[in-house]
Structure 1
């Protein structure tokens, strides 16, 4: 536990974070995240954060040393995709019971589970995660993992991030510390080259990194390791031989990028693959970093040629959507890198941003938003559901882009909604991803269901009454009855 405490303090003292450098010693010890709220939604604890970062390593067995519910609540909470192995989709847990806790059987049960996984699946490595229960009863998972690795001849990696130590973001960083301590640098590749790079903080949600990798392949740039999206254990173990790195989500893994630069001299920059301009700029910076590390400068010319070709294709495809979307108003209720990268991407085709959330954004993210929007009046730290509903129901936005938690607010306000968080079904990265994002926004806004949904209900309408002169005395009486009934309906329901 003392080693865990030291790691947490090291993460809180992150020197690569400008906001952290500006704090005094007392404030720095508190970290960046707000205290946890008991009963909060899934995804709020350090264990979930660590699992989010490491589970997309697809050929590894992820073993949760805890009661069954801990694994059930955290399994598959992101839509990452794999191009090969499916072992990461299998749920492994020691399933501790009250009797195991009382009798002190936790460590023995963990060792047995590691052996069973080794014999049944033969993975290249096993990652072991303690949770609140096993950390509180004092199970020494580091000792068990070390003994199991010696006994079974494969890496057994302890990921010491029990939920009670802090927030999801802290868990992200503790997962990066586990990779640094136990995985990265443990294997020496025999094919290291001058065009090898790492991509950090890219989760390959809905397979969107597969829209970017072909661009790098055309430049003969090899992704040594994408951490964690669609990763393999061997690739991550060799990641220390890359020449440069791109940081996609600094909120999650800035500590990993900084320490890899310190230990192995791998320079990095923070960029985005969302939007045409940002994708082009990311390719330029990758090529420039490689040249700075000794690659042939001719790659700069090839990069510009590729950018010119891909941008021309993308803008031609987007031209069809511009007349339909120009001037449309979008509300972004997300955070992190998407709070500025998606803003920039949408403004490129004439869409107006009426607001963007910066709840999970870094200081650097917020500065980028200010530069893009020219002011900070459209930035909000947090907007209550009531305020979101009021903004949408008053038609201040034509569509809301957010995660699944707020979709029902948009639906109640009869406003189009599009998922851009980790549960999304469509990839939005790269040039093709930008075209897909715009296409999905167009489909959502112009879906005819919204016009029908906003029309008054049939029972809110006054029945039509024919104004005809009666020909007989009986028809006159009938007309009076109909008119009286229509007046009653109008009083009860109003007119359309």
Structure 2
């Protein structure tokens, strides 16, 4: 546990965290994450955060050393997509019971589970996740993983991020530490080149990175490793030979980017693939970093030519939507990198931003929003459900973009809603993704269901009945009421 405490302290002192830079040494030790309120839901534990970051490594077996309840359903974790292996969708757990805890059988059961996975699936590596129970009873996960790796001849990686150590975001960073300690740098590629890059913090949600990768391919830029979206173990093991890196979600993997720069001299920048302007800027910065690391400067010209062609095609497609969406009011109830990247993307086609949430956003994210919106009044940390419902029901916005947690508030307020978080079904990255995002917003706003559900229900109207159907004494009240209603026409109803 002492090594885990050291890791946590190291992550909390992350110098690349924008919020930490302005603090003195004492304040920095308190960490860059918002402190948790005792008794309140934290939005996910450290174990959950670690698994979110590592599970999209698609050919690895992810083994949860814990009671059965700690392992959730792995199928389609956060909407990440794979172009090949599906082993990551299989749930593996040691299913620790009370008897195992009392009799001290946890480590033995873990070793046996690793052997069974090796024999049945033959993965290139196995990741082992302890949780609160196994960490508290003192199972030596690292010793078991080391012994199993020697015995079975494959990497067995301990991911030391039990739930009780902190929030989901802390778990993201501890997962990055596991990659640094046990994976990255353990394999040497035989095809390293001057145009190799890493993409960090990209989860390939709904396969959206597949809309960006063809652009890089056309420039001759190879993605050595995309961590973690659609990743393979050997790709990550050889990621230290990349020449540059782009960080998509800094709150999750900023420590990974900084330490890779320190150890292997891989410069990085933070960018976004949402919206045409940000996508173009990301391509430019990638090319510029590669040139600084020795690539041929002619790639800069090819990048500008590609950007010009792709932007022209995208704007031509968006022209049909501008008259239908210009001036429409949007509320973004999300956070992180989407709090500013999606804002910028929507403003490009004339959509008005009523407000955007900055929950889970870094200080740098918030500064970007202020630069884009030019007004702090459109920024809110979080909005209570009652206040959110009031905003929507009063028709102050035309559509809300958020995650699945608040969709029912929008539906209750009879307001169009679009999912832009990890559960979404459509990719929104890159130039084609921008067109798809606008298309989905247009479909949601102009769906005829909204004017229908906003109409008063027929039973809320008071009909002025003209003639009643004859009834018999033997008929029930329900039958009589049905006849009474069935005999009416549209003229029988008064104004609603």
Cα offsets for 1:290-317 (capped at 9, x unmatched) = 0010000000000001000000000000
Q: Is the 8 A contact 1:46 1:168 kept in 2?
A: yes
Aligned partner of residue 108 in structure 1, secondary structure: helix
Q: Is the 8 A contact 1:198 1:242 kept in 2?
A: yes
- Sort the Cα spacing of 1:7 and 1:480 in 2 relative to 1 into closer, same or farther, 3 A: closer
Cα offsets for 1:262-305 (capped at 9, x unmatched) = 00000000000000110000000000000010000000000001
Aligned partner of residue 422 in structure 2, secondary structure: coil
Q: Is the 8 A contact 1:462 1:486 kept in 2?
A: no
**Aligned residue number for residue 482 of structure 2:** 482
- The whole-number CA distance in structure 2 between the counterparts of 1:107 and 1:491 is 78
The range that moved more, 73-82 or 42-51, is 73-82
- Sort the Cα spacing of 1:472 and 1:178 in 2 relative to 1 into closer, same or farther, 3 A: closer
- Sort the Cα spacing of 1:49 and 1:465 in 2 relative to 1 into closer, same or farther, 3 A: same
- The whole-number CA distance in structure 2 between the counterparts of 1:334 and 1:303 is 32
Aligned partner of residue 489 in structure 2, secondary structure: helix
Q: Is the 8 A contact 1:403 1:421 kept in 2?
A: yes
Question: How far does residue 35 in structure 1 lie from its aligned partner after superposition?
Answer: 4.3
**Aligned residue number for residue 31 of structure 1:** 31
- Sort the Cα spacing of 1:192 and 1:464 in 2 relative to 1 into closer, same or farther, 3 A: same
- Sort the Cα spacing of 1:169 and 1:470 in 2 relative to 1 into closer, same or farther, 3 A: closer
Question: How far does residue 461 in structure 1 lie from its aligned partner after superposition?
Answer: 2.2
Question: How far does residue 458 in structure 1 lie from its aligned partner after superposition?
Answer: 1.1
Q: Which residues of structure 1 form unaligned runs of 5+? A: none
- Sort the Cα spacing of 1:155 and 1:40 in 2 relative to 1 into closer, same or farther, 3 A: farther
Q: Is the 8 A contact 2:272 2:337 kept in 1?
A: yes
Q: Is the 8 A contact 1:46 1:161 kept in 2?
A: yes
Question: How far does residue 44 in structure 1 lie from its aligned partner after superposition?
Answer: 1.0
- The whole-number CA distance in structure 2 between the counterparts of 1:250 and 1:220 is 26
- Sort the Cα spacing of 1:260 and 1:481 in 2 relative to 1 into closer, same or farther, 3 A: closer
Question: How far does residue 457 in structure 1 lie from its aligned partner after superposition?
Answer: 1.0
- The whole-number CA distance in structure 2 between the counterparts of 1:122 and 1:15 is 39
Aligned partner of residue 476 in structure 2, secondary structure: helix
**Aligned residue number for residue 213 of structure 1:** 213
The range that moved more, 134-143 or 24-33, is 24-33
Cα offsets for 1:39-92 (capped at 9, x unmatched) = 866951000000000000000000000000001267654110000000000100
- The whole-number CA distance in structure 2 between the counterparts of 1:117 and 1:375 is 55
Q: Is the 8 A contact 1:465 1:483 kept in 2?
A: no
Q: Is the 8 A contact 1:130 1:160 kept in 2?
A: yes
Q: Is the 8 A contact 1:462 1:489 kept in 2?
A: no
Aligned partner of residue 387 in structure 1, secondary structure: helix
The range that moved more, 71-80 or 131-140, is 71-80
Question: How far does residue 34 in structure 1 lie from its aligned partner after superposition?
Answer: 3.7
- The whole-number CA distance in structure 1 between the counterparts of 2:495 and 2:154 is 75
Question: How far does residue 356 in structure 1 lie from its aligned partner after superposition?
Answer: 0.2
- Sort the Cα spacing of 1:327 and 1:144 in 2 relative to 1 into closer, same or farther, 3 A: same
Question: How far does residue 486 in structure 1 lie from its aligned partner after superposition?
Answer: 17
Aligned partner of residue 58 in structure 1, secondary structure: coil
The range that moved more, 471-480 or 175-184, is 471-480
- The whole-number CA distance in structure 2 between the counterparts of 1:222 and 1:265 is 18
Q: Which residues of structure 2 form unaligned runs of 5+? A: none
- The whole-number CA distance in structure 2 between the counterparts of 1:144 and 1:225 is 28
Q: Is the 8 A contact 2:202 2:227 kept in 1?
A: yes
Question: How far does residue 375 in structure 1 lie from its aligned partner after superposition?
Answer: 1.6
Aligned partner of residue 38 in structure 1, secondary structure: coil
- Sort the Cα spacing of 1:189 and 1:476 in 2 relative to 1 into closer, same or farther, 3 A: closer
Q: TM-score, normalised on structure 2?
A: 0.93
Question: How far does residue 376 in structure 1 lie from its aligned partner after superposition?
Answer: 1.2
- Sort the Cα spacing of 1:481 and 1:31 in 2 relative to 1 into closer, same or farther, 3 A: closer
**Aligned residue number for residue 171 of structure 1:** 171
- The whole-number CA distance in structure 1 between the counterparts of 2:8 and 2:268 is 23
Aligned partner of residue 421 in structure 1, secondary structure: coil
- The whole-number CA distance in structure 2 between the counterparts of 1:477 and 1:96 is 60
Q: Is the 8 A contact 2:257 2:268 kept in 1?
A: yes
Aligned partner of residue 377 in structure 1, secondary structure: helix
Aligned partner of residue 317 in structure 1, secondary structure: helix
- The whole-number CA distance in structure 2 between the counterparts of 1:492 and 1:299 is 74
- The whole-number CA distance in structure 1 between the counterparts of 2:465 and 2:168 is 63
- Sort the Cα spacing of 1:314 and 1:257 in 2 relative to 1 into closer, same or farther, 3 A: same
Q: Is the 8 A contact 1:80 1:205 kept in 2?
A: yes
Question: How far does residue 27 in structure 1 lie from its aligned partner after superposition?
Answer: 3.2
- Sort the Cα spacing of 1:298 and 1:489 in 2 relative to 1 into closer, same or farther, 3 A: closer
Q: TM-score, normalised on structure 1?
A: 0.93
Question: How far does residue 460 in structure 1 lie from its aligned partner after superposition?
Answer: 2.3
- Sort the Cα spacing of 1:37 and 1:73 in 2 relative to 1 into closer, same or farther, 3 A: farther
Cα offsets for 1:339-372 (capped at 9, x unmatched) = 0000000000000000000011001100000010
Paired residue total: 496
- Sort the Cα spacing of 1:112 and 1:330 in 2 relative to 1 into closer, same or farther, 3 A: same
